[in-house]
Amino acid sequence: MKLKDESIRFLSFIIILLIVTSILTSLRIKDSQYLLTDSGVKERDLSSLRKIKSTTELLSESIYSFFFLDFGKTLTGESVNSHILERLEPTFVLSFFVILIGSFFGILFFLLVIYFNNYYFESFFLFFSKLILSTPIFLFAILLFIIFFLELGFLPPGGYERGDISYLILPGLSLGIRIVARIFIFGTEESKAEIKSPLIRILKTRGYSQNIIVFKYIFYKVLPLIIILIILDLSSLLSGAMIVEEIYFFPGIGKSTFTAIKNMDENLLRALLIYSGIIFYCMTRFARFLQFKLTNIYE
Amino acid sequence: MFKNTNDINLRETFCSISINHIFGCDRLGRDILTLFCYGSIVTLILAIPSKIFSIIISLILSLLTYSGGRFMGLLISSLSSVFLSIPSLLIALVVIYSLGKNFEVFLLSIVLSDWAMSYETIHSKISEISNSGYVYVSKNFGASQFYIFKNHIFPQLIPILNVLFITGIPSIIMTIAIYSYMGINFGSDTFGPGLGEQISFSRDYFHKSPLSVVLPIIGIFLLVNVFNFQEIKKKNIVN
């Protein structure tokens, strides 16, 4: 029954995704002739460009592309699949870098706060976490750009080179800082609830050290929920961090999406909409499945 | 004190702090305080109606899910999943680039990128209420769906709608700041550049005019946190 429900849900998601993709693509590609104004294209050659595709035509193209994984070519003549594959590597590297630093510091800070159990220490981290979550990511990106490139000149202003971690630091910090804040707030709240549980009280009365209670029992209890949080963050990172990639000229999926919108690249836009939709959907469903496995709660 | 934000005066490029220019001038000689004030006003002009419309649309769709049967429920929840799964900035950029940069299009783009989140909250609250014991009893006494909605669901939704409004505005302010950073501004002929565009325009001249970057950053931060403060107050009242 659950498998049937899940299949119906996925099928209806795919149908609606393809319809929405076609509508958004048809909106974007209207009157794209002006892009060729200065290119020397002759009047008679414009006839094929003048034909504006209807949403139904675009829908059938989207269905064909989805089932045969053939998205055609980009405006520059490159295959859409190879274009996306080329950008997947930097996107994956950046996403895993962000998740690594975000989860490491987030977990470290909340464990320290729980371990030392100091009001001022906790308030300090909590204040900064809330501050971070209520500030747009691009402001951090700009501030880090000003400090580390314009002022100190330590790090490159943008771009990406395989194997060179310095290109990942600024975009990674801009994106990771929110993950640190989210994991800190979530981890602290969950751990505080856990401290009040009968198990921890018994451990305390039996004289277990704070080290063992925090780093073994509380940490292992909270970890599964933090993993779910990390998977949800990873799903949005894999869909492309458009604004940060644009600020740092990072050649990932996000920058590619922005370029596709600006250049009215129908095939690329369609492929990226379907790609980000499916990645996000599958990861969130996986996170829910994991949540069910770990907590035995299902909707 | 307030000057025209589009008045360019190259003689006053990067002018220092004075009585006429309390925070100095930017690269085009425009008064930084004026840019900041108009940028903040235009952000609020967009953010508040957008959130109201987004909540109204979410409420209507939640009601359709509640009253429209299984098929309608599946259709709307799939639509919501699709809008949640596609990056909201992508949807908004496609809409604005395609339909123009007037007020209605901005409103539409923000509503499209925001409604799904509000829908999920309202829908889950309606499900919770409609599965409660007193609604079950009410149904057994022959109450119609409209009666249940009017007397049981809607009164309990009001505090949720209030919280959704207050908590949603900061995220919309952040979205507007991002649009503006990417050069997508509403009413730039009247109000000048938005706060995000001011940052993007001045960031390479940070050494010469740090306030033209710092002030819009503070502006966005204050706008977001004024509503976050209201949110905490509201949550305390609801609790």
Q: Which residue of chain A comes nearest to B97, CA vs CA? A: A28
Residue by residue, DSSP assigns A257-297 as HHHHHHTT-HHHHHHHHHHHHHHHHHHHHHHHHHHHHHH--
pLDDT at A1 exceeding the cut of 80 = no
| Set of chain B residues whose Cβ sits within 8 Å of the Cβ of A136 | 174, 177-178, 220, 224
Q: Which residues of B touch A (CB under 8 A)?
A: 74-75, 78-79, 81-87, 89-91, 93-95, 97-99, 170, 174, 177-178, 181-182, 196, 199, 203-204, 206-207, 213, 217, 220-221, 224-225, 228
Whole-complex ipTM: 0.75
Residue B135 to residue B129: CA distance in whole angstroms: 7
Six-digit token pair at B37?
């004030």
pLDDT at residue B228 greater than cutoff 70 = no
pLDDT at B3: 64
The pLDDT of residue B53 is: 93
Average pLDDT rounded to a whole number, residues A28-44: 57
State how far Cα A9 lies from the chain centre.
22
Residue A156: pLDDT over 60: yes
**CA distance, residue A225 to nearest chain B CA (Å):** 21
Q: Quick one: average pLDDT of A197-209?
A: 87
Are B186 and B106 in contact by the 8 Å Cβ rule? The answer is yes
* A299 band by pLDDT with thresholds 50, 70 and 90: very low
Q: Collapsing DSSP states into helix, strand and coil, what is residue B192?
A: coil
Question: What is the nearest CA distance from A28 to chain B, expressed in angstroms?
Answer: 5
Neighbouring CB atoms inside 10 A of B125's CB total: 18
Name chain A contacts of B229, Cβ cutoff 8 Å.
Answer: none
The distance of B95 to chain A (nearest Cα, Å) reads 7
Tally C-beta pairs within 8 A across A and B.
110
Look at B237 and A171; give whichever has higher pLDDT.
Answer: A171
Q: Which residue has the higher pLDDT, A235 or A174?
A: A174
- pLDDT tens digits for range A9-26: 888 888 888 888 888 887
| pLDDT tens string B80-126 | 888 888 877 788 888 887 787 788 888 898 898 888 888 988 888 88
What is the amino acid identity at position B84? L
- State the Cα–Cα distance between residues A193 and B147, nearest whole angstrom: 40
Considering only the beta carbons, identify the residue of B75, B178, B207 that sits closest to A136.
B178
Select from A76, A59, A54 the least CA-distant residue to A264. Answer: A76
Q: What is the CA radius of gyration of chain A?
A: 24
Residue A5 has pLDDT above 90, yes or no: no
Q: How far is A10 from chain B (nearest CA, A)?
A: 9
**What average pLDDT is seen over chain A?**
83
Higher pLDDT, B191 or B60: B60
Place of tokens 């499945």: A289
Nearest Cα of chain A lies from the Cα of B83 at a distance, in angstroms, of 9
Distance of alpha carbon A69 from alpha carbon A82, whole angstroms: 12
pLDDT in tens, B182-196: 878 777 777 788 888
Residue A102 has a pLDDT of: 93
Of A13, A243, A272, the CB nearest to B78: A13
What's the rounded mean pLDDT across residues B4-20? 78
Query: Using CB atoms, which residue from B82, B91, B213 is nearest to A17?
Result: B82
User: Out of B75, B91, B177, whose CB is closest to A136?
Assistant: B177
Average pLDDT over residues B62-76: 86
Judged against a pLDDT cut of 60, whether residue A230 lies above it is answered with: yes
Cα distance between residue B43 and residue B110, in whole Å:
12
SS percent in chain A: helix, strand, coil, step 5: 80, 0, 20
Task: Output the DSSP codes for A147-199.
Answer: IIIIIS--S-SS---TT-THHHHHHHHHHHHHHHHHHHHHHHHHHHHHHTSHH
In contact, B50 and B107? CB cutoff 8 Å = yes
Hey, are the CB atoms on B90 and A261 less than 8 Å from each other? yes
- CA distances to A57, B104, B123, B162 from B130, rounded to whole Å, are 42, 35, 10, 20
CB contact under 8 A, B86 and A243: no
Q: What is the DSSP letter of B205?
A: G
Mean pLDDT of all residues belonging to chain B: 83
pLDDT in tens, A58-91: 778 888 888 888 888 888 888 888 998 988 899 9
Q: How far is B205 from chain A (nearest CA, A)?
A: 10
- Say what the pLDDT of residue A37 is: 54
Minimal Cβ distance to B94: which of A239, A261, A280: A261
Residues 6+ positions from B28 with CB-CB distance below 8 Å: B8, B9, B10, B13
Give me the pLDDT at residue B186, please.
76
